[in-house]
Amino acid sequence: MIVAASSGGSELYGSFDGGQSYTGVLTLDDGGLGWRDLGFTTDEQGVVVESGVSPGRLWMTRDGGHHWRVVRFAAA
């Protein structure tokens, strides 16, 4: 389970024990501008859009939310 939160920063929290505890898996020091469109396409692969920059960056996980990386797009 992954939960998004915003306050002084934007954070994603993950639970890997059925919701008994949560740990921070991604933190941005963006003043709490937040996230958009957090979702998983499989149990392992998920994406979230960072809303604090323009254009928003797409972050992806391929290990169930343990680690997140910015997706790089090649210029056409």
User: What's the CA dihedral at 26, 58, 4, 38 to 10 degrees?
Assistant: -140
Of 24, 71, 23, the residue nearest 45 (C-alpha): 71
Q: Where are the domains of the chain?
A: 2-70
| Percentage of the residues of the chain whose pLDDT score is greater than 90 | 57
Compare 62 and 50 and report the one with higher pLDDT: 62
Give the model confidence (pLDDT) of 18-45 as tens digits: 999 999 999 988 888 889 889 999 999 9
Could you tell me the pTM of the whole model? 0.84
